[in-house]
Structure 1
Amino acid sequence: MKTKFNQFILLAFFALLSFTACQNEETQVINPSEQETIVPSSALAGLMSNTTANYGAYDDVLDGSPCFSIDLPVTIVISDITITIESEEDLDELEDLFEQFEGNEDILDFIFPITIIFNDYTEIVIENEGQLENFITDCDDDEDDVIECIDFVYPISFSVFNADFDIIDTVTIENDEALYHFLEELEEDDNALIVSLNYPVTLEYANGETIEVNSNEELAEAIELASNDCDDDDEEYECNEDNITELLVECPWDIDDEFNDFDDYQITFNEDGTLEISEDDATSAIGGNWELTATDDGLKLILSDLTAFEQDLGGIWIITECDDDELIIERGDFTIELDQDCDDDEVDCSVGEIYESIVECAWLFETNLIDTTVAVYVYFTPDGQILNANADGTESVIGAWELTLTGSHIYFDFEFESEFEVLNGLWKVAECEDDELYLINEENYIQLYQECDDENPFECYETDGIELVECDEDADGYAVFNIYEAVPDCSSQNTLIISFHTTEEGAVSNTDILEVAQAYSSISNPQAVYVKVALFDNQEEFYIYPVYLISENCSPFECFESFEAVIEKCDEDNDGIEVFDLTVAFSNCTPSAEVVTYHETEADALNGINAILYPEAYTNVYAEQILFIRVQIENQTEIFPIFLYLEDCSQGVCAEGDVDEILAECFWIPTSFNGDDNLIDWVLNFEANSQAVVMTNGETAVTATYTTSGSADGVIVEFSNITGPDIQVLTGSWLVVECSSEFLHLQNGDINLILERTCD
């Protein structure tokens, strides 16, 4: 069976069918033979059209109509379970799911609108169930016009001639839909153009075998033979001894009988003729032997030496039906269905099991998208709400949840409120255990731990106290603290309420609430505050421990000490002299200083004499020179060096094409921004031909825009639309003053930027 989905319709080449312009170039004159010419309305053209038509019956499990297929993906609802069908494999899963609802009619509901695709690739948007039923009722069942068991192997090409047999074009076809429309337009052509198929052409049968044809006659014969052999029931799998043998050893098999006696068991057939029958949770398996034999009565599967299962499963079984993942075997009046279980990517839980577990009790909630230093506990209610425990003992609604099944994968669909909105969307269940769920969304995760019971819910919090130390920025004896840092990451079977208090008595009486615990300004040094951990279900049961807030004096020169100030410039005239703006060296630090002066010698800086009068326009003395900045803060003075470097700009200058090429290779790190390495943690990934650059710093990712252009001074790299913190300083136009495959030196006015390549 072939699957036809809605594809991009390539109609551009049909312009040649109304080709009227004169040819200005010499063309080759060839007389195509009748064996190669595709004649409109001919039997061959009809066979080719039927072979490439959209096979509407492949998804009849969805719509029951062979006249059209449904454009995927499509979302359906079965017994309150939302399922997204994305592929033919998902349709197979859907058939298996229908078996669980046997006898329950009309269990499938579409989420409209949907799009249906007819055999000629015409598309119609369906807005409701009534419209869909009308099209199903009007179907004349022209399925037999579609040949689904043979396919062209693409690409194929046609030569197009005019009446004088001059080649005016060659058309390349890439897929069934394009070929179908090409033949359709050929029927409607009024320009007497001649089209011949370029051989050889390869065809592929439904069983995967291929055939090469070299003429129209061979092509027509191959398609006719295949269409005569097409099974009306679309059964592709051939039940012969070789195929079944290969199938048996491919994966384990689930056992399904009418009494459901073996629902928890699997059979594994080994290539050496042995087998194991294992139970879901068992650590050992029951062994045995198997043999497959072809007889006049059909294929027989012989199971022997099964010990405890000999009476139930041992003996000679006739294989009465087979598919590429299912076998029906019979022994007398006893029938068993064997279903292949190969999907290692599926989680161990079903939708029903996850639903039953998720509403059972509270869950400890962790994610990389939200700071969950404080334990967050949530409840998933059966009516689809997500609740959070408040400090006052109440519960508040923070969102909604729904389970969905897409193909073989299970998803949580979250709609959170307030600070949890960043978690909205679909989260795939990647791991599933009795008391733990691991959900993923691209590179992000949510970890859920079930918390139902614990003998000592405060064991993790038993401590004599925790010290938090912060810098006293303004030297007033106080500092700002995040008291959540004093709450350990504890897992508990009970839902707990965490609160913060300025006194121990207040913690006991639930008064003296400490506000803004994430940014609390201390009122003494040291200061003790108190953390209270109480059971949500019984707030009379609690534990209190102190947190000591300690403010420490910080060096007012910490910013100046954090990096080495380097100013690099291009020696434009190659004379060893340029004008430097010394104030940019520590521009991010000087706002905190009271007095700043610049000096040519360290002795002058120490003595506070001979200050440079115009530091914004200083002309260097040497190509490599050290100057000194004298900084006074709060009656304290420190001296720091500034390094000046001149570079020969005549070396290493690249053309625009060179810059484009090297930027697209590997990744680039801004190792120096005017001598400061504060951007060194950012990584720039320039995406070739897209004018996009992805900037990442740990968990922060920013997609910005860059362009390159030529100018009289050299190549210009311009950054725009940068929204991330710190990295915004790259916004603007930068002149490439030096480049290599490993190194780029850029300038924006007096600001110098160094990018270095890394391929890690």
Structure 2
Amino acid sequence: MKFFKTSLLLFSTLLILFSCRTEEIQIIDPPIENELAANSTVAKLMKNTVAKDGSKDNIIDKASCLSVKLPVTVTVNSKEITVNDEDGYEEIEDIFDLFDNDVDAIVISYPIEVILSDYTVKTVNSDEELQRLAENCTGENEADDDIECLDFYYPLKASVFNANLELILTITIEDDEQMHKLIEDLEDYSAVTIEFPFKVILNGDTYVYINNMQELEEALEAAKNSCDEDDDNDYNDDDCDKCSTEGIKKIFANCNEWSVEKLYLNEEYLTEEFKMFTFSFRENGSIKIDNNGDISEGIWEITGEGNEMSFSINIPDYPAFNGTWYLHEVKEDSGEVSVHLLLEGNHLRFKSQCSTVKDGLNAILLAEGSIWAVESYKNTGEDETAVFADYQIYFYSENVVKAKKDGAVIEGVWESLNDGSMLALNFSDEPVNAFNKEWEVAVMSETEVVLEANDKRLVIKRIN
């Protein structure tokens, strides 16, 4: 191993960059199996995972290996706007979508700054300079090294050792940029270890625990080509290619309260006028509108498939919404769902602080004929699984839950909370009342649910 550089300058830089360190040197034999070695396969995979993703703003720069530093001012089809956050990309798309028979153009106001995949920031003064940087990127949907299907769940902890295997620094890593710098600097350190276990996020919505370096390497290898990384310049590729009437009805059935995120009608923004309204789209085709206690009714209907879907609305009290709209796109992200409708240059977008994840948890627990058992229960590190080995758990739609053993039944209640990210359990008697708390849903599949609460971990597995 290389001798760790102990110059005052480097040490001071580390103290500024990272938020936590040990107060005194400790002599520890680092667990070699957790060592993150420079130029190792796992280090290279981690570096590709935490590289700066530049694909989100391709509507501006048409380059997936760099991103324009915000805010940036652009002129879109003769309209000047300032993009302050990712919502600005949608605003550009909305302007492009206003008319189907026009030529869409975007003009960037230079100078701008761009962030490269290694987090280097460069100043760009012209389209020509931006194009030269973009030429270093791979083409649309061509294979590249970045891994976008797995994300680290921060904060993570790492330990730095000197040549005498003395622990000299404990690092708290808060984001991808800090992780990227740590990996780039590995050759400067004699040894670095990662603290396990920690969580990673697969495909944006599934949490999985990683327990050692081998598991981490396997997870990163598996994630390389496991999802669509969206490295193209087609800003319309999130439209309704896979939409269906049943899917839209399911979304509205799961999400009861909707608000108006945007209403642009006859070249006038009416969003503010309706932003406090609450809309409920019922499965029977009726709409309930609540304007601060003033209730109105209407009807809605969805027909067609894919990109040929019509969304009809008729609310007599609020004719601004009335018409047969074209379903432009549906987005689900971080517990929020939005439905975007178009009609001859007019825009209507509903949003709900809801997610089909909730329905996913309910559907999993309530699947017909499903019986669950305790696969594992750890209480402050102690394995207490054997206490519950013979119990079978049944979930019912009336929020009733039952634990059965040898003919005896212990009843309780259960509830899905926070869009399905939490599961509350409350049993009436021992020993299963040990599960009485609000659990975080760490991992969820059709056959297994992993629950966590402080220093407790409960894994239930479907046995039928």
TM-score by length of 2: 0.52
Shift of 1:264: 9.8
8 A Cα contact 1:206 1:236, kept in partner: no
Aligned residue for 2:14? 13
Shift of 1:176: 0.9
2:349 to 340, 351, 370: 340
Unaligned runs of 5+ in 1: 1-9, 17-23, 344-760
Aligned residue for 2:280? 270
Distance 1:15 1:275, change over 3 A: closer
Shift of 1:121: 1.2
Distance in 1, matches of 2:31 and 2:238, equals 38
Shift of 1:198: 0.7
8 A Cα contact 1:57 1:143, kept in partner: no
1:251 to 259, 267, 289: 259
Aligned residue for 1:111? 109
Shift of 1:197: 0.3
Aligned residue for 1:50? 48
8 A Cα contact 1:56 1:119, kept in partner: yes
8 A Cα contact 1:253 1:338, kept in partner: no
Q: Does 1:322 align with 2:330?
A: yes
8 A Cα contact 1:54 1:119, kept in partner: yes
1:212 to 204, 209, 212: 209
1:482-513 CA-to-partner distances (Å, cap 9, x unmatched) read: xxxxxxxxxxxxxxxxxxxxxxxxxxxxxxxx
SS in 2 for 1:61: helix
Amino acid paired to 2:349 = Q
Amino acid paired to 2:26 = T
Shift of 1:84: 1.1
Amino acid paired to 2:59 = V
Shift of 1:244: 5.4
1:40 to 29, 38, 41: 38
Amino acid paired to 2:280 = N
- Equivalent residues in 2 for 1:31-110 (5 A)? 31-34=30-33, 36-100=34-98, 104-105=102-103, 107-110=105-108
Q: Does 1:230 align with 2:239?
A: no
Shift of 1:135: 2.4
Distance 1:338 1:244, change over 3 A: farther
TM-score by length of 1: 0.34
Shift of 1:32: 0.9
- Equivalent residues in 2 for 1:659-738 (5 A)? none
Q: Does 1:133 align with 2:131?
A: yes
Distance 1:270 1:213, change over 3 A: same
Distance in 1, matches of 2:159 and 2:47, equals 18
Aligned residue for 1:585? none
1:143-176 CA-to-partner distances (Å, cap 9, x unmatched) read: 7322223322222111122344322221221211
SS in 2 for 1:219: helix
1:673-697 CA-to-partner distances (Å, cap 9, x unmatched) read: xxxxxxxxxxxxxxxxxxxxxxxxx
Aligned residue for 1:524? none
Distance 1:11 1:211, change over 3 A: farther
Distance in 1, matches of 2:311 and 2:258, equals 18
Amino acid paired to 1:322 = V
8 A Cα contact 1:268 1:276, kept in partner: no
- Equivalent residues in 2 for 1:563-574 (5 A)? none
Shift of 1:211: 2.5
* Aligned-pair Cα RMSD in Å: 5.0
Shift of 1:302: 9.1
1:21-77 CA-to-partner distances (Å, cap 9, x unmatched) read: xxx96623224131x111222221122111111101110011111121111111122
Distance in 2, matches of 1:250 and 1:44, equals 44
Shift of 1:208: 3.9
Q: Does 1:203 align with 2:200?
A: yes
Distance in 1, matches of 2:176 and 2:75, equals 31
Q: Does 1:173 align with 2:170?
A: no
SS in 2 for 1:117: strand
Aligned residue for 1:182? 182
- Equivalent residues in 2 for 1:334-733 (5 A)? 339-341=348-350
User: How many residues in Structure 1 have an aligned counterpart in Structure 2?
Assistant: 304
8 A Cα contact 1:47 1:223, kept in partner: yes
SS in 1 for 2:298: strand
Amino acid paired to 1:212 = Y
1:237-257 CA-to-partner distances (Å, cap 9, x unmatched) read: 996565454468423488999
8 A Cα contact 1:14 1:182, kept in partner: no
Distance 1:172 1:236, change over 3 A: farther
Distance in 1, matches of 2:288 and 2:38, equals 61
Aligned residue for 2:298? 287
Unaligned runs of 5+ in 2: 1-10, 18-22, 232-236, 333-337, 353-464
Shift of 1:270: 1.6
- Equivalent residues in 2 for 1:296-307 (5 A)? none
8 A Cα contact 1:255 1:336, kept in partner: no
Q: Does 1:30 align with 2:39?
A: no
SS in 2 for 1:97: helix
1:78-112 CA-to-partner distances (Å, cap 9, x unmatched) read: 34433111101111112112223655546322221
Amino acid paired to 1:13 = L
Distance 1:81 1:48, change over 3 A: same
1:242-279 CA-to-partner distances (Å, cap 9, x unmatched) read: 5454468423488999xx9xx9999985254354499x
SS in 2 for 1:218: helix
1:521-540 CA-to-partner distances (Å, cap 9, x unmatched) read: xxxxxxxxxxxxxxxxxxxx
Amino acid paired to 1:82 = E
Distance 1:125 1:271, change over 3 A: same
Amino acid paired to 1:198 = E
Distance in 1, matches of 2:309 and 2:58, equals 32
1:339-358 CA-to-partner distances (Å, cap 9, x unmatched) read: 42459xxxxxxxxxxxxxxx
Distance in 2, matches of 1:76 and 1:299, equals 32
CA radius of gyration, larger in:
1
Aligned residue for 2:403? none
SS in 1 for 2:185: helix
8 A Cα contact 1:321 1:328, kept in partner: yes
Shift of 1:128: 2.1
1:626-647 CA-to-partner distances (Å, cap 9, x unmatched) read: xxxxxxxxxxxxxxxxxxxxxx
SS in 2 for 1:154: coil
8 A Cα contact 2:98 2:345, kept in partner: no
8 A Cα contact 1:161 1:195, kept in partner: yes
Amino acid paired to 2:14 = F
SS in 2 for 1:199: coil
Distance 1:236 1:320, change over 3 A: closer
The structure showing larger relative contact order (alpha-carbon pairs under 8 Å, at least 6 residues apart) is 2
Distance 1:178 1:30, change over 3 A: same
Amino acid paired to 1:29 = I
SS in 1 for 2:220: helix
Distance 1:86 1:255, change over 3 A: closer
SS in 2 for 1:58: coil
SS in 1 for 2:57: helix
Amino acid paired to 1:287 = G
Aligned residue for 2:148? 148
1:210-256 CA-to-partner distances (Å, cap 9, x unmatched) read: 33322122323333444433214377899656545446842348899
Distance in 2, matches of 1:202 and 1:148, equals 16
Distance in 2, matches of 1:121 and 1:81, equals 31
8 A Cα contact 2:70 2:85, kept in partner: yes
SS in 1 for 2:330: strand
8 A Cα contact 2:311 2:327, kept in partner: no
